[in-house]
Copies of this chain bind each other. A is one copy, B any other.
Amino acid sequence: MTRMPQGLPLLGEVASEAEAVDKAPLVLAGVLLSLVVVYIASKLGGELSRLLNLPPVLGELVGGVVVGTSALNLLVFPESGATVADSTLMPVLQWIGGGLSLEAIAPIFDTQSEVISVLAELGVIILLFEIGLESDLRELTKVGYQAAVVAVIGVVAPFAAGTAGLIAIFHTPTIPAIFAGAALTATSIGITSKVLSELGHLKSREGQIIVGAAVIDDVLGIIVLAVVASLAKTGEVDVTNVVYLIISASAFLLGAIFLGKFFNKAFLTIADKLQTRGQLIIPALVFAFLMAFLANAIHLEAILGAFAAGLVLDETDKRKELDQQVIPIADILVPVFFVSVGAKADLSVLNPAVPANREGLVIAAFLLIVAIIGKVITGWGVFGQPGINRLAIGIGMVPRGEVGLVFAGIGSASGVLDKPLEAAIIIMVIFTTFLAPPLLRVAFRDQEAEDAVPATDAVSET
């Protein structure tokens, strides 16, 4: 009965008892509050974006920036360097807890941030599952070769131009230059596919080539990352590891697709037998999460597994019903992902008043040009598809998104990158991510205008 924090004696008393028990209620309070922040940011941003005739996902990203580390600090993450003192949400929890100290609230901050991070990851897993469901496996295999060419050009061109340019123009040492070049190879499958879906172009030939290429790019990106990481660590390339990744990635994706028919039948049999609530969505998610887990376990990305699961289940006749049920789940989880990506982007690197940023800004301008041109040209690698919108395909590959941030984060952690180069990579990631959605809309709109004129081949919109 001694501790009486001024202003809130009663709350203090209650907390001092609850505290002895466990931190669970405060963690829950933090998660609930963070989710409210995420949802409000995503809706305000998304709706504003729509009013401006831009893809809503851009608004969700911007909403994330506003509530994130660049502005309001309501949503910050320890993994991107924030501490409990940076969060403007924690004082609320300290107050609820009856005047808890920063040290006392620190583990709660960590836990609630981890929970939000996992929810974000589940969000992008559900998104890719949904994209897989919306994609057509036959369409996708039809454009498989074109997608592979687009992906390979999109990795080789920016990597070569970026690395060579950094060495030649900026006299960057070889290993950091290779690292920055590698960061240029990424493509954010999440952002790209979401924009395509919002523009209604996911099922167009262009859309399927972009999605296919983004998936292949993701696999290539993992291999590039492994190469670069081992280079940064030991100074040499770990060939066994690279071979292992190439084999496991190919085996996983091809295996999932070839075994698809079997999975499909098993899924239908199970879903038909079940009588209790969730008889369709639960088996579907068990399959999706298991595939995501397997992909993760063999050191691919979890989202690749979820995408493969969606592709496979797309073939079933329960598809429509399943689609319908996945939508609300995606609606509540996917925004956590996009808002988190925005929240983690630190725009302070753009401030030219900070001397260290100036060098970074110059390098960033170079990287950005390479990043855009290196991906836009990929559209012209598509063969045997007369009348296809090559510009749209190229632009679709531009956003680096979360994948680019992973590269920057690893570079920063391994100490390979100096401050200006790291800032330059982050700026490149931010700009490509935020520029691509409106540009993609323009690229497709030009096409629609063209299509309105009698054309020799219209877009297949099956």
Contacts and interface: CB of A to CB of B under 8 A. Distances in A.
Given A27-B114, A329-B328, A282 B32 contact: no
A359 B335 CA distance: 53
A34 to B, nearest CB: 10
B244 A335 contact: no
A289 B24 CA distance: 16
Given A1-B238, A79-B22, A29 B114 contact: no
A74 to B, nearest CB: 14
Interface in A174-223: none
Nearest to A273: B47
Interface string A388-420: 000000000000000000000110011000000
Interface string A312-343: 00000000000001111101100100000000
A29 B240 contact: no
Interface in A16-38: 17-18, 20-22, 24-25, 27-29, 31-33, 35-36
A276 B331 CA distance: 10
A296 B36 contact: no
A433 B43 CA distance: 41
A36 B293 contact: yes
B118 A28 contact: yes
Contacts of A234: 1
Contacts of A20: 233, 413-414
Most buried by B among A331, A335, A409: A331
Contact of A29 (B28, B226, B297, B410): B297
B32 A293 contact: yes
A75 B323 CA distance: 30
A274 interface: yes
A226 B17 contact: yes
Most buried by B among A21, A33, A96, A277: A277
A148 interface: no
Interface string A246-280: 00000000000000000000000000011111100
B115 A289 contact: no
A42 B282 contact: yes
A283 interface: yes
Interface stretch (A6-14, A139-147, A453-461): A6-14
Most buried by B among A35, A125, A282: A282
A230 B275 CA distance: 47
B299 A18 contact: yes
A286 interface: yes
A241 interface: yes
Contacts of A289: 32, 35-36, 39
A152 interface: no
A11 B10 CA distance: 54
A353 to B, nearest CB: 32
Most buried by B among A39, A118, A240, A292: A118
A25 B282 contact: no
A283 B325 contact: no
A154 interface: no
A233 B278 contact: no
A245 interface: yes
A247 B335 CA distance: 37
A386 to B, nearest CB: 34
Interface of A: 1, 9-11, 13-15, 17-18, 20-22, 24-25, 27-29, 31-33, 35-36, 39-40, 42-43, 46-47, 50, 56, 79, 96, 111, 114-115, 117-118, 121-122, 125, 226, 229-230, 233-234, 238, 240-241, 244-245, 273-278, 281-283, 285-286, 289-290, 292-293, 296-297, 299, 302, 325-329, 331-332, 335, 409-410, 413-414
**Top 3 closest A-B pairs, CB basis?**
A278-B331, A325-B328, A32-B293
7 contacts: A14-B244, A20-B233, A20-B414, A28-B296, A28-B302, A43-B276, A326-B328
Given A13-B238, A14-B245, A47-B273, 16 more contacts: A10-B244, A13-B240, A21-B409, A24-B117, A29-B302, A31-B122, A36-B286, A43-B278, A47-B274, A50-B276, A115-B115, A278-B335, A281-B332, A325-B331, A326-B328, A328-B329
